Amino acid sequence: MAVFGALLLARPPAGAFAAELIMLEQQGCAWCLRWHKEIGGIYPKTEEAKIAPLRFVDIHGQWPEDLAGIRREAFTPTFVLVEDGQEIARMRGYSGDEFFWFLLGEMLAKLPKS
């Protein structure tokens, strides 16, 4: 039991990652659905996900407190790369997997080198 408790304490809370990729979406968004079908299942297994874990935010839901400094968006899907609460880059729309991976690479290249 103590080991399980230690594992829970070692797990970072939501939003604790230095960088995150925020997907802004809304119900009924056909391009969001296409992204989920083409990319959603594999993203968590990628090197990109290790750098910027993915988090989903409904644009019509309550805006997360930790994203207070991030501008809301009306167009979905929109992907916002955030590091330490600051927007690094933004990608509006989804027009296929190859374009997505290319633009995501460009976005990740803007992260400060550690």
CATH of domain 17-108: 3.40.30.10
Residue 78 confidence (pLDDT):
99
- Which residue positions in the chain have pLDDT lower than 70? 1-17, 114
Cα within 13 Å of Cα(37), Cβ side: 9
Residue 17 confidence (pLDDT):
54
Residue 34 confidence (pLDDT):
98
Domain ranges of the chain: 17-108
Confidence (pTM): 0.83
Residue 54 confidence (pLDDT):
98
Specify the 3-state DSSP secondary structure of 16. Answer: coil
